[in-house]
């Protein structure tokens, strides 16, 4: 699979690093360096990042908060994380643009496929915050939607494990990693790769998902260079 334009999906929790909360400046700097190595090869990169290290809408709901209000708070958390990663990218020497499903002047521009595509063609790394801009949708769904909008070659879902397994590899040492899965196989096996809305959107638009370990140095570059890293779902 040739990867010339990618949508990199990162979880908010990934930014916690060893702190266990908030944004770890070392972790976000490491990610920026990994992204720069790929951008320097000419690959066009868009990034969607969650907000779970700051606030989760569903968690707020379970504590008695209104779901819509909680989801908007979660979207704002993604804006904070996106600003942090944009700053790290620019410190690493990359030019970037911050777009959002929630336009917040003067922090970020309103997301549109045409605008994002234009910036990607100009060589910017495009960070897309604010989820879909609507409650009841996760950042998984936002990443699927944005990948389709920008006509990405694949969604690269960076996690702390090196792919999709038959069971949780952190709990079950006998778990076996899949190298390749079809959407139908993943659904039939009940593998939690993305939420169902995101999964259906990827399947309908034939958008491959590659799940890999983002925390292992060099993995992102190896992946775009064609090495078999992680699990491919298509």
Q: What is the pTM of this model?
A: 0.94
> What pLDDT is attached to residue 1?
79
β-strand 96-100 against 44-49: which pairing, if any? Answer: unpaired
30-78 per-position pLDDT tens digit: 999 999 999 999 999 999 999 988 886 566 566 777 889 889 999 999 9
For residue 14, pLDDT over 70 is answered with yes
> What pLDDT is attached to residue 60?
55
174-195 per-position pLDDT tens digit: 888 999 999 999 888 888 888 8
Distances (CA, A) of 9 to 35, 171, 175, 189, 229: 12, 24, 24, 23, 16
How does residue 169 score in pLDDT terms, banded at 50, 70 and 90?
confident
Instruction: Round the CA-based radius of gyration of the chain to a whole number and report it.
Output: 17
> What pLDDT is attached to residue 27?
93
Cα–Cα distance for residue pair 83/77, rounded to 1 Å: 10
Phi, psi of 231 (to 5 degrees): -120, 130
Mean pLDDT (the chain, rounded): 92
> What pLDDT is attached to residue 57?
59
> What pLDDT is attached to residue 180?
94
88-110 per-position pLDDT tens digit: 999 999 999 999 999 898 899 99
- Interval 77-82 mean pLDDT: 95
> What pLDDT is attached to residue 61?
62
CATH 3.40.50.1000 fits 5-233, yes or no: no
In the chain, the percentage of residues whose pLDDT exceeds 70 is: 97
- Interval 134-160 mean pLDDT: 95
For residue 79, pLDDT over 90 is answered with yes
For residue 165, pLDDT over 80 is answered with yes
The domain limits of the chain are 5-233
Count of alpha carbons within 13 Å of 76, Cβ hemisphere only? 8
Cα–Cα distance for residue pair 145/158, rounded to 1 Å: 17
């Amino acid at each position: 699979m040739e990867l010339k334009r990618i949508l990199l999906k990162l979880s908010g929790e990934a930014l916690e690093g060893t702190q266990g909360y908030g944004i770890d400046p070392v972790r976000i700097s490491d990610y920026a360096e990994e992204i720069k190595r790929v951008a320097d090869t000419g690959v066009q990169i868009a990034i969607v990042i969650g907000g779970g290290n700051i606030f989760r809408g569903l968690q707020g709901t379970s504590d008695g908060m209104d779901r819509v209000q909680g989801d908007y708070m979660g979207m704002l958390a993604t804006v904070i994380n996106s600003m942090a990663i944009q700053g790290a990218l620019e410190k690493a020497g990359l030019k970037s643009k911050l777009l959002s499903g929630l336009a917040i002047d003067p922090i970020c521009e309103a997301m549109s496929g045409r605008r994002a595509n234009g910036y990607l063609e100009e060589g910017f790394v495009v960070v897309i915050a604010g989820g879909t801009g609507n409650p009841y949708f996760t950042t998984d769904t936002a990443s699927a939607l944005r990948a389709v909008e920008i006509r990405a070659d694949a969604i690269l879902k960076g996690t702390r494990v090196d792919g999709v397994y038959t069971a949780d590899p952190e709990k079950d040492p006998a778990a076996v990693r899949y190298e390749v899965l079809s959407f139908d196989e993943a659904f039939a096996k009940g593998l939690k790769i993305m939420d169902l809305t995101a999964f259906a959107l990827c399947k309908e638009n034939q958008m491959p998902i590659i799940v890999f370990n983002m925390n292992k140095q060099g993995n992102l570059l190896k992946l775009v260079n064609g090495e078999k890293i992680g699990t491919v779902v298509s």
